């Protein structure tokens, strides 16, 4: 009876060990994915939080919000950020709206913001007197182990009120509101 079962453990180990390792490496890859997404979400949120407060109340400073957003994102580095996120795939866009009505009209259609006629974007001169900004971040996640997960395009979006582009803060020369 014992001689008939000889080598069973070897066969079970040979068949089960690769499956177990594949499951463990997939779990590790998913853990790294969630870590990198939360890290980039935090960096993006912090960059937008700093970015929306740039400028001054006299409207004498023309701020390039997209350029400063990208610079803030490049400053924040992480333990695995550079290893799993392709740095050349990171792109940011900032779209500006004059008021809440134009913003809701663009969102009702469920189309891309770049196709919306009332969305002004990507240039510093487009940000003047535009109190609502939509910050977009797109990047590509490269898994550590390519057998389980493909490359993943991840998109994030934050809607913010530009502190010094609001009419309430406009003082002095050039203080007209964008209505």
29 occurs within a structural domain = yes
Residue-by-residue pLDDT tens, the chain, 179 positions = 566 777 788 888 888 999 999 899 889 888 988 888 888 888 889 888 888 877 665 555 677 777 888 888 777 765 556 667 777 788 888 888 887 888 888 888 777 777 776 677 666 556 667 788 888 888 888 887 777 778 888 899 998 888 766 665 454 555 555 44
34 contacts 41 by C-beta, under 8 angstroms: no
Number of domains in the chain: 1
Number of H helices, E strands in the chain: 4, 4
According to DSSP H, which parts of the chain are helical? 8-51, 65-75, 81-84, 100-108
70 occurs within a structural domain = yes
178 occurs within a structural domain = no
179 occurs within a structural domain = no
- Classify 100 as helix, strand or coil: helix
CA within 13 Å, CB half, 158: 20
Output b/e per residue, 133-143; b: 16+ Cβ within 10 A. bbbbbebbbbb
Domain that holds residue 123: 7-165
Nearest to residue 97, comparing CAs of 167, 156, 49, 161?
Answer: 161
45 occurs within a structural domain = yes
176 occurs within a structural domain = no
């Amino acid at each position: 009876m014992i001689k008939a079962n000889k080598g069973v453990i070897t066969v079970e180990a040979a068949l089960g060990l690769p499956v177990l390792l594949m499951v463990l490496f997939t779990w590790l890859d998913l853990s790294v994915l969630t870590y990198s997404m939360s890290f980039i979400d935090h960096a993006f949120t912090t960059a937008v939080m700093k970015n929306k407060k740039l400028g001054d109340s006299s409207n004498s400073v023309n701020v390039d919000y997209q350029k400063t957003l990208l610079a803030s994102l490049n400053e924040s580095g992480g333990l695995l950020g550079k290893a799993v996120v392709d740095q050349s795939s990171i792109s940011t866009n900032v779209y500006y709206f004059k008021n809440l009505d134009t913003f809701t009209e663009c969102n009702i259609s469920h189309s891309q913001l770049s196709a919306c006629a009332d969305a002004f974007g990507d240039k510093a001169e487009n940000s003047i007197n535009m109190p609502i900004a939509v910050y977009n971040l797109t990047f590509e996640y490269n898994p550590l182990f390519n057998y389980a997960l493909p490359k993943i395009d991840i998109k994030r979006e934050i809607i913010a009120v530009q502190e010094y582009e609001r009419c309430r803060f406009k003082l002095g020369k050039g203080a007209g509101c964008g209505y």
